[in-house]
Structure formats: structure tokens, C-alpha cells
Amino acid sequence: MFIQIVTKDRAGKLGMEILRLMSLLFMRKKIYVFVLLISALTNITIAYYYDKNNPEPKLKKMHFYIKDSSLAKLSKLRDQALTLGVLMRSPNDYVKANIFYVNQSIECKLRLKGDWIDHLQDKKWSFRVKLKQSTSDGLKTFNITNPLSRGYLLGYVYHKLLRKEDILSPEYSFVEIYMNDVSWGIYVLEEHLTSRMISNQSEDDGVLLKFDDHEFFKAETDESLSPSVGIIKKAKIRVYGSKSVRIEDQGKLRIAKQIIKNYQYQVDTLYNSFDAKKMGTYYAITDLANAYHGIGWINMRFFFNFTTIKMEPVGYDGYPKMDWGKPYLGYNAENAKLDSFDTKMIVYGALNNQIIQKEYISTLKKVTDSLYIQQFLEEEVSYLDYYEAELQKHYPDYHFDNTFLFDNAREIRELFMNK
């Protein structure tokens, strides 16, 4: 057993550094840390480590059986995207296939998925899959995404943090993909926006909403068009689950659409209609995980809760890693002087709401505490170890940096606590 004693006046900064370094040294050997702060009585921090065994997960296998002509069609669409620099989709992009998964054989259709071409590299193409009938656990529409585009294990960590803090997010796991019995290696399985996603995490009914990103990418790839700033005002609003909304809830559906319309035009009172705690928590987790890719309006997903009559954020598509929100969103919001329809300014606008800001600050203090991070890693380390080993079979140079969260937290706290 290792024991480290730190006096209270040094426990803050030094304590975090000790946990970060010990995590780096011991995590891979299944050695865990628990820290007991006895500030009131003894004025010291005691950290001690001991072994603990956790069961390892198993990587499920997903088989697709698809005609050569259909694969050729997908390959042609991929080549077009590589030339253009972005995947422009149409309803005719789907091809028929059969899938064998969790001991079920089901007819399906699939298409290439992703906006940028990082989703289409080598034999690691990303796909949207729609099953003719649900699997035994209710899965029907989902993505299989190459791990690179989701930050390898960073995406897994991000979704686990969101769910730990009761923020809605899609099912996120790893599977091994086979195309016509040829392994394409490990992929991320991401549930699409469905009622299953809601019912698995919330007792409340509601609908999911997002903005259509077609106009944005058209502006980004066509030099003859105007810049993408302000394109949000032209974006169509897409609602998922509206067909199943009961007659008595139709008024709530109209409220949901109006809130997103207000978001689209950045109406001053917009954020009074949002769940302040969930919005503040979502922003804080985004800071900790450096998941800024998912917070821009083209990637944002929303859940309108029919019980609370409040809009909630849905955690989605946090990677690849971007640094534009660093050191943390609250710091940038205080200094941002941008067009109110610039992508970043739309993000910062939520923190102008005092209630959301209060929840954000409270949660940011909580999740950047080294004890919080260490406890989280303890819960997930057997999965992180296992998935890292599976990822390395296809990406031999990949190593998960288990000090990533500690480093982000330290950077945030050094600025945040000194304000």
C-alpha cells in the first residue's frame, strides 16, 4: 500500500498533481486511489492505494452482408466526398444489407455517415444504419463510426461523464465490424436520436430536436456563397418523435419548436426556457472533457421535457478534440466580443443567463476536483484498459492518456480559482 500525506495548505494544487502522477503510474496495474480529506480535524490529506478486481467487458461482433454492387455504390460516394472534402448526403444514398448482431439476423439499409472526410479514411468508413425491425434490446437506428472521429476513448469518457451527471446522451459502446465476413476492426456504436434513448435514461416524455446542417456545409464548401456565420437562421428544425406525440401534448410540441426558433434567432429571453441545472452541467462537462466539437449549433441536440416544460441539452459528437473553448467556456464568455450569430458566440450566450451561469460554476468546481476525477476513473478503468487493447489492434500507436482529465482540470482551476 502507498500512503501520501499532504498538509492542508498544499493539498489543493499538490494534491491534484499527486493524484495525476499516481494515476499515470498505477492505473494500468489495476491499482486504485481513494483520498480522504480530514481538513476540519487533522488539517491533512491522506491518499492511499489498494488493488481491486473488476470484470472486463466483451467486444460484441456485428456482421453486415452486402452485395458487391452496393459496396461499389458506397465506394463511389466516398470517392466523391474525398474529392469535395465533405460528404453531401441524399435520400438515395442508402443501400440494402443484412445484419447479424446479438444472435439476430435482420434486414437493414445503410449509408455513409459523417460530414468531414475523417469519417471515410481507409477501411474505416462511418455508417448510418436503419434496421427493418428492432434488436432484442430495442436498438433500431444507429451509427457505426470510426474511433478516430470520436477521439478514440475520449468519446467514451465524455458520454460516461454525461450520464454520471444525468445529462441525456445516446448509447455509446464499441463493437467489431465485419463486412461480408471480413473484419473492419473496432468501431464506435452510437444510438441515433430515438425514443429508446429517452426511455433508457428518463422517466419523462418529450421530443428530440436538432438543426439541419445542409445549408452550413453548402456554405463551407462553395466559395461563391456567403460565409457560414448567420446560416443558423436558415437552418430547418428537425424533430424526432413528433409522430408519436399524443394529442394532449401537441401544445407542448409547439412550445418546443418555438424555443428552438428562439435559439435560432438568439432571442434575449431564450435561456429562461432551458433547464438551468442541466445546461450548466453540460457546459462544465464539456470543459472538463474538452468536447467542444459537440457544442456548436450544427452538432447540438436538444430534448424538450414534457413534464418540466424545459429544454435540455443532449450530449453528442464531442470529438475530434478542438481547443477553441479552452481554457474554459466561462472564461471566454467574459471576453467574447463577436457577432451574435457566430458559432462560438451562440455557445457563450447561454452563460449570460445568471441562473445557468450559477449552475455552471457550481458544477465546474465539482467536476474539476481531483477526487471526483479519480473516482470516475476507478469506476471505468477496467473498460478503458480493455477497449484500449482492442483499439491498439487497429491503431498500434494509440495510447489512452489517463491524465487527460487531471490536466484539463488543473488548467481550469489555476485560472478559475485565482479570479
Condensed to tens digits (0 to 9), the pLDDT of residues 380-391 reads 999 999 999 999
Lowest mean pLDDT among 15-19, 60-64, 71-75, 193-197: 15-19
In contact, 259 and 265? CB cutoff 8 Å:
no
pLDDT reported for residue 131 = 95
Residue 37 has pLDDT above 60, yes or no: no
Confidence of residue 339 (pLDDT cuts 50, 70, 90): low
**Cβ count near 75 (within 10 Å):** 13
Say whether 103 sits in a helix, a strand or coil: coil
In the block, cell 488493488 appears at: 51
In contact, 187 and 175? CB cutoff 8 Å:
yes
Q: What is the residue extent of each domain of the chain?
A: 3-53+370-416, 60-191, 203-367
How far CA 166 is from CA of 200, 210, 285, 294, 304, in Å, comes to: 12, 20, 11, 17, 15
Nearest to 334 by CA among 361, 313, 368: 361
The CA distance from 212 to 214, in Å, is 6
The CA distance from 123 to 185, in Å, is 9
pLDDT reported for residue 224 = 55
Confidence of residue 81 (pLDDT cuts 50, 70, 90): confident
Lookup: cell for 143: 451509427
Condensed to tens digits (0 to 9), the pLDDT of residues 284-332 reads 999 999 999 999 888 899 999 999 999 999 998 888 778 888 999 998 8
- 330 vs 241, which has greater pLDDT? 330
Residue 47 has pLDDT above 60, yes or no: no
First CA to last CA distance, the chain: 38
Condensed to tens digits (0 to 9), the pLDDT of residues 374-419 reads 999 999 999 999 999 999 999 999 999 989 999 999 999 998 877 6
Number of Cα atoms under 13 Å in the Cβ half of residue 367: 27
The CA distance from 130 to 106, in Å, is 10
Lookup: cell for 150: 470520436
